[in-house]
A and B are shown apart, each in its own frame.
Chain A
């Protein structure tokens, strides 16, 4: 129809404002880079001058060399081992959490049965599971993946339940007015309305999955980035430790970036406060 083909003025920024906002985005990115670059430069100087002993704090350039060195050899093996564990553990933990969150969030009956148990389990600091998992499952992959799944479970579960319970009753009533069935209500109103909260949960679940990966690999592993960390400590190689930290940071940022990208794509409809720009 005519109304469909007519674009909104709001959605078509003029070329001028487009280039302007592009350069703005770059300026923001440069602002973000300023502090890390400064710190690296200062560190390099301090280590070169000899204020910090290089067997404790290697110069950034030295770390870069170590990283390049590792990249020619074992680094990819460690990365793929860690990545596989995180993804598997996260998929299992977050998947189960979404199922239980939906169940508890939608049904008071399920809440009465399940919520106290989850509240109890949640109050166990997750790392306390480590010895038990090692005893039960041994030191191979299973125990690590289960630990990561436990770590990812709770943030996703908690945020999921909260997201469902925070849904505006008034929107739900619109569906009831149309006589929507339960599944239709979930599909058309509850799920989209809960999506922002679910994403929050998934993102913090992902970051906890990385944390528990390191914990698991520090304790018992023959490969993985956590193993690299403890290997560097045992062989007194702070450059290896720092290189592993940097790789962990990059991978964490990458996985979060992917989730953030999905969030931005699916939640473009949100009418949220985005902070004030310096020009305001």
Chain B
């Protein structure tokens, strides 16, 4: 095995009396992109929160060699009283690195909006700010929980390309939860399909395609058929 960034073993995670996750083993290599696909309520968000250290009450262990781990939530979760700039530098209080923030603002395509308040942003713009905030701390791992589910299809494609580009440029490993099979296949090196509760990882699909990828690549279509079958067996669809 090569040097992994993250190694997560969850023997069991329960809420009250229901077991949500069981026997999950997941590794993340440096610069790798991994997606989690699975039925609603199967515990994907919970797994991500465990990795982020937000959920500490579980049986298992989390071995992290990553320096910074950042989280992009399903909603932008911007502080409404701070400007775009201040939101991006949120983790450094008021003495954030202005040049780095300005570069991130340019990179996520929000040039000129540094001083805007969140209420003046569209959903897609707000999510881009959230991604920039995630990148501010120069993380080794970026965790994303359905980051694009609230934006329209075209914005989503643009944001996906943006995410890949940024991950490539800043050498970030991505662990991503999504409900969108196309998104998972387009972005990831590996796609993990999860079972219904109590969830295990049902199948792992490797997507051996170089980046940048073509969304119309026949291999992607093939893998999509495969994962749809798998999801059907898992009674997701």
Smallest CB separation, A4 vs chain B (Å): 5
Of A4, A10, A188, A193, the contact of B85 (CB 8 Å cutoff): A4
Q: How far apart are B121's CB and chain A's nearest CB, in angstroms?
A: 10
- In the assembled complex, the Cα of A184 lies from the Cα of B113 at a distance in Å of 27
Could you mark each residue 100-116 of chain B with 1 if its beta carbon is under 8 Å from any beta carbon of chain A, else 0?
00100110001111111
A6 and B77 contacting across the interface, CB-CB below 8 Å: no
Q: How far is the CA of A269 from the CA of B105 in the complex (A)?
A: 20
CA distance A191 to B228 in the complex (A): 47
- Given contacts A3-B106, A6-B112, whether A269 and B52 have CB atoms under 8 Å apart is no
A265 an interface residue at 8 Å Cβ cutoff? no
Q: Are B113 and A3 in contact (CB under 8 A)?
A: yes
- Which B residues touch A4, using CB under 8 A? 85, 98, 102, 114-115
A128 on the interface (CB 8 Å rule)?
A: no
Interface size class of B (residues with CB under 8 A): 20 to 34
- What CA separation (Å) do A176 and B115 show in the bound complex? 25
Whether B71 sits at the interface, judged by CB under 8 Å, is: yes
**Residue A8 at the chain B interface, CB threshold 8 Å:** yes
Which residue of A has the minimal Cβ distance to B102? A1
Q: Which residues of A contact B110 (CB under 8 A)?
A: 3
How distant is the Cα of A174 from the Cα of B106 in the complex, in angstroms? 23
Set of chain B residues within 8 Å of A176, measured between Cβ atoms: 54
CA distance A205 to B226 in the complex (A): 64
Count, A-B residue pairs, CB within 8 A: 76
Contact A177 B54 (CB under 8 A): yes
B79 touches A3 (CB 8 A): no
Beta-carbon nearest neighbor of B94 in chain A: A188
Interface SS of A by simple majority: helix
A174 to B77, CA, bound (A): 8
Q: How extensive is the interface on chain A, given as a class?
A: 20 to 34
Closest chain B residue to A187 by CB distance?
B93
Give chain A nearest CB distance to B18 CB in angstroms: 21
| Complex contact A189–B79 (CB within 8 A) | yes
Q: How far is the CB of B77 from chain A (nearest CB, A)?
A: 5
Tell yes or no: B119 within 8 A of A by CB. yes
Task: Establish whether residues B90 and A171, one from each chain, have CB atoms under 8 Å apart when the complex forms.
Answer: no
Contact across chains for A174 and B90 when beta carbons are under 8 A apart: yes
Is A53 part of the binding interface, using a Cβ–Cβ cutoff of 8 Å? Answer: no
Query: Are A2 and B73 neighbours in the complex by a CB distance under 8 Å?
Result: no
B87 to chain A: closest residue by CB: A174
Indicate if A16 sits at the interface (CB-CB under 8 A): no
Q: Cβ of A29 < 8 Å from any Cβ of B?
A: no
Chain B residue nearest in CB terms to A267:
B81
Q: B137: nearest residue on chain A (CB-CB)?
A: A178
Find out whether the CB atom of A8 lies under 8 angstroms from the CB atom of B79. Answer: no
Which A residues lie within 8 Å of B137 (CB)?
178
A170 within 8 A of B: yes
Q: Could you name 6 residue pairs across A and B whose Cβ atoms are closer than 8 Å?
A: A3-B105, A6-B111, A171-B79, A189-B79, A269-B81, A271-B118
Contact residues of B with A, CB < 8 Å?
Answer: 52-54, 70-71, 73, 75, 77, 79-82, 85, 90-91, 93, 98-99, 102, 105-106, 110-120, 137
Pairs A-B, 5 closest by C-beta atoms: A1-B102, A271-B119, A269-B81, A3-B114, A6-B112
